Chain A
């Protein structure tokens, strides 16, 4: 982990879909989908390993997205780093602050939508999300690979099989 002043966006192992005002990034290694709002996407795209945080602030303002501070960019960088979207992890700037304090601090000083990244993980296996369609406990197979026991628990039955994760 480093306190990098010139963060670099990770490119490897990502599928990126840009859309007007937002971006979807799918991490094929962590199997997570990230939804970046316009501000977060702009900061991420500006992290080229050369731009400093100060440069990103200037580019942000030049793009007519609003007036922001370095804390605003760091708020995006903290999230990008914790979600694994930077080449090198960056030491968090807002460590110890509550989310409310952090947003207040950055929000008051900025005239732009705060950078937000929402994430969701894909399930281990699609089988985990499906039903084995057991209608009796005797119908449950003895070995079920890559599925969860609560499939049968949910059907009100005691699972009779061993699951292999």
Chain B
């Protein structure tokens, strides 16, 4: 790749990152995407970059981006590349972040304690998070639980992404001005592992901390890269939380039942 003439060096979630492009407009779009993706946590920096992203357009690939010298994706239109870059960047930061553990989970706050709902994309966690927020829970995230060494979860309040029946995304903006979105970290009070099943009844099974850690492993982004730290943080979370597993029915009904249950047991 030819030397890029435009650069932007910054730090986000403790990682030094560089964006490069020969095209100022493409670089601007990358920065704008990253600002949205990382909720504005981009601090300009002179630290040597650990992750270098190169963006460009050429006859062979159309629009493309590379990460540390490897072609990641290309597309004939810019939107195709930047949509993927948006997800890619968050996941890579989640995997490499030195002092936080990113877990795929929806998160809400209930009476000063956070509830984690681990799940992959398309598992219905956004729908459930939205229903809990509608019933008074504080919104933290519909995508990642960002955990620190104390076992506290930090807000990552992007607009809730709801998928419609035709597979399109419809962002649902939780109104931060009405105190629905969290602004400070909270200790984790409960972790809910749940799967949708038609007509399922809520039958909670309480897991032990080690069972909870094992079940959380597939959702823990840095588990392969920083295993020891991830496990230390997971343990801190699990030893202080109520860990529940249950199937669930439709989100609105389940949210009601589950909130009643949590109020009793927490």
Which positions in A face B, CB cutoff 8 Å? 15, 17, 19, 21-24, 26, 28, 31, 33-36, 118-123, 126-127, 129-136, 138-145, 151, 154-157, 161
Which positions in B face A, CB cutoff 8 Å? 61, 70-75, 77, 79-81, 83-84, 86-88, 90-91, 94-95, 104, 120-122, 161, 163, 166-169, 208-211, 213-215, 217-221, 223-224, 227-228, 231-232, 235, 239
Please name the residue on chain A nearest to B61 by beta carbon. Answer: A142
Question: Which 4 residue pairs spanning A and B have beta carbons closest together?
Answer: A131-B121, A141-B73, A156-B167, A155-B167
CA distance A133 to B86 in the complex (A): 9
Residues of A within 8 A of B208 (CB): 19, 21-22, 35
Residues of B within 8 A of A139 (CB): 79-80, 83
Please name the residue on chain A nearest to B166 by beta carbon. Answer: A156
Residues of A within 8 A of B223 (CB): 26, 31, 33, 122
Pairwise interchain contact B80-A122, C-beta atoms closer than 8 A: no
Pairwise interchain contact A120-B218, C-beta atoms closer than 8 A: yes
Pairwise interchain contact B214-A143, C-beta atoms closer than 8 A: no
B interface secondary structure, majority: helix
Pairwise interchain contact B214-A119, C-beta atoms closer than 8 A: yes
Pairs A–B under 8 Å by Cβ, sample size 30? A15-B231, A22-B208, A22-B211, A31-B223, A33-B214, A34-B214, A35-B211, A35-B214, A36-B210, A120-B215, A120-B218, A122-B220, A122-B224, A126-B91, A126-B104, A126-B221, A127-B91, A130-B87, A130-B91, A130-B121, A133-B87, A135-B83, A135-B169, A138-B80, A139-B80, A140-B80, A141-B75, A143-B72, A143-B73, A154-B121
